Amino acid sequence: MKLEEIKELDSKYGAKTFSRFDVAFRGGKNATLIGEDGKEYIDFGSGIAVNIFGVNDEEWKSAVIGQLNKIQHASNLYYIEPQARLSKLLCEKSGAKRVFFGNSGAEANECAFKTARKYSYDKYGEKRKRIISLKDSFHGRTLFTLSATGQDAFHKYFAPFVPDVVNTVADIKAIDRAADGRACAVVIECIQGESGVTALDKTFVKELADYCKEKDILLICDEVQCGNGRTGKFFAYEHYSITPDIVTTAKGIAGGLPLGACLFYDKTENVLGVGDHGSTFGGNPVACAGACNIVERLNDDFLFEVTGKAEYLRAKLSKIDGVKKVTGMGLMIGLETDKPPKEVAIECLERGLLVLTAHNRVRLLPPLTITKTEMDEGLAILSGVLQK
């Protein structure tokens, strides 16, 4: 279909929730996409950290198609082989003890918050149900996760929110005041993505982990965006020398299929029991088969390469005129630019490069498999746009 026809259908029948860039893609290879008009685009966004092995990765496709040729869905009423294998793989990679699967980041966080409240209920009764989140965080669009999201821009119109979810600044004293002896969990993104790609301070995170441990408050790491190899570690919290009680992830975990996971560590592995939580599609066999392939390949050698690519890209970016600051970690990159980020993104698109924005920064989340040639092509376009 031609782009103009797609746009006409979308504008007539699609909900008006998205402000879309003027392009649709028909295919591609790795980090090079092909538009409906046949034009090539270097992909520095991977569909918001989703296509972490790019597009048309042969190994991943054969895992997915192999499962499609067997059975596409079974229901969690029955045992599901790829789901069981994925649980084991994730636990082996992370040190977690058990995994619950949903279909998205929001659902993974929803599961984490419910689990925190049940943990606290089992131990302390009704009096410790508060969930604390940080300013400038993003945790999803469902009401519970929106309640935890620390950015007012997402909040208008949707009150009343889920009660006893409190937002505060990244400071131990402020968190202790917000907790007021009634908190069951603190949720953090080690690298805040949507608000501009900002890594939390290492001392703060370590202190927070100690504080939570001392008070028996659960520490939840939202690794929906920063996890799955993006920073050169399997999960970003590994850079912080902490062990969380719950980790949530989604976006890149299945290489482009919808899947969310909530990982339970020592304290939380036995909190949820039969009937406490569920999902029709969660842990779908096709998504899990794709995820098994992805997670298996995120091994030490691969992560080492990610770190090398990140160093290369960051060094080049910091030398571009018009880049004031490079933030984030690994291949999760924020750029403070002289030009407004939205303008940068539109001009990049016109010249054949996809970049994202996050609040007041340009955001880069390239596929982890991006090649040096693809990086160089993208860098050339970006520096052209920023220097103009």
Ligand X SMILES: *Cc1c(COP(=O)(O)O)cnc(C)c1O
Interface ranges with ligand X (CB under 6 A): 104-106, 109, 138-140, 189, 193-194, 222, 224-225, 250-251
Task: At 170, give phi and psi (nearest 5°).
Answer: -80, 75
Distance in Å, CB of 251 to ligand X, minimum:
6
Q: Token match 């298996």: residue?
A: 296
Distance in Å, CB of 376 to ligand X, minimum:
28
Give the per-residue SS3 of 85-126: HHHHHHHHHHCCCEEEEECCHHHHHHHHHHHHHHHHHHHHHH
Complex with ligand X: residue 224 or 289, whichever CB lies closer: 224
Distance in Å, CB of 363 to ligand X, minimum:
11
Dihedral over Cα of 296, 300, 302, 306: its sign: positive
Distance in Å, CB of 195 to ligand X, minimum:
10
Complex with ligand X: residue 252 or 378, whichever CB lies closer: 252
Complex with ligand X: residue 31 or 106, whichever CB lies closer: 106
Complex with ligand X: residue 57 or 189, whichever CB lies closer: 189
Distance in Å, CB of 139 to ligand X, minimum:
5
Question: 312 with 345: CB under 8 angstroms?
Answer: no
Q: Which amino acid is at 36?
A: E
DSSP 270: T
8, 310, 363, 372 from 327: Cα distances, Å: 38, 12, 9, 21
Complex with ligand X: residue 250 or 323, whichever CB lies closer: 250
Q: How many CB atoms lie within 10 A of CB 278?
A: 13
Task: At 119, give phi and psi (nearest 5°).
Answer: -55, -45
* CA trace torsion 225, 228, 233, 234 (10° rounding): 130
Beta strands in the chain (DSSP E): 25-29, 32-35, 40-43, 98-102, 130-134, 165-168, 183-188, 191-192, 198-199, 218-222, 246-249, 260-264, 323-329, 332-337, 353-354, 356-358, 361-364
Task: At 276, give phi and psi (nearest 5°).
Answer: -75, -25
Q: How many CB atoms lie within 10 A of CB 219?
A: 25
Distance in Å, CB of 361 to ligand X, minimum:
14
Question: 255 with 288: CB under 8 angstroms?
Answer: no
Distance in Å, CB of 360 to ligand X, minimum:
17
Complex with ligand X: residue 15 or 77, whichever CB lies closer: 15
Complex with ligand X: residue 326 or 365, whichever CB lies closer: 365
Question: 53 with 297: CB under 8 angstroms?
Answer: yes
Distance in Å, CB of 384 to ligand X, minimum:
29
Complex with ligand X: residue 224 or 333, whichever CB lies closer: 224
Complex with ligand X: residue 52 or 385, whichever CB lies closer: 52
Residue nearest to ligand X (CB): 105
